[in-house]
Structure 1
Amino acid sequence: MSGINAILEPGMLVRHPAQPDWGIGQVQSNIAGRITVNFREAGKIVIEGSHVVLDIVND
């Protein structure tokens, strides 16, 4: 895994670029390119980091 997803750590806030209705999510884990995120509106989702580049929330 490379790019932004490689630096994601537990506690960081992110958005899924293709699913804005999920709201802001908090990274729970990032293991071997599989990123588990707890989204406010969608709950816990496991994302394959090689298919989706998450947006970091800097608010």
Structure 2
Amino acid sequence: MDDLNSMLEPGMIVRHPDRPDWGLGQVQSNVKGKITVNFREEGKVVIDGAHVSLIPVFDA
């Protein structure tokens, strides 16, 4: 899972695969596998990239 998340950079838009109710999120930072994302419906969340592969959104 870590490999997919390693490409995420600040400003990119993502979805959480297990929490569609959070809506789209904007990556704030990606440091050592900890990805901070500001989701529209949930707010700021720190994701452990070793356990969750975020889904990049390119058409948002």
Give TM-score, length-normalised by structure 1: 0.95
Give 5+ residue unaligned stretches, structure 1: none
**In 2, Cα distance between equivalents of 1:3 and 1:19:** 21
CA drift at 1:21: 0.3
Question: What amino acid is aligned across from residue 54 of structure 1 in structure 2?
Answer: L
**In 2, Cα distance between equivalents of 1:46 and 1:28:** 10
| Total equivalences in the alignment | 59
Deviation by residue 1:7-43 (Cα, 9 ceiling, x = unmatched): 1000000000000000000000000100000000000
**Percent same amino acid among aligned pairs?**
66
Asked if the contact 2:2/2:53 (under 8 Å) is kept, the reply is no
Tell me the C-alpha RMSD between the 2 structures.
Answer: 1.1
Question: What amino acid is aligned across from residue 6 of structure 1 in structure 2?
Answer: S
**In 2, Cα distance between equivalents of 1:33 and 1:11:** 16
Give 5+ residue unaligned stretches, structure 2: none
Shift >3 Å, 4+ stretches: none
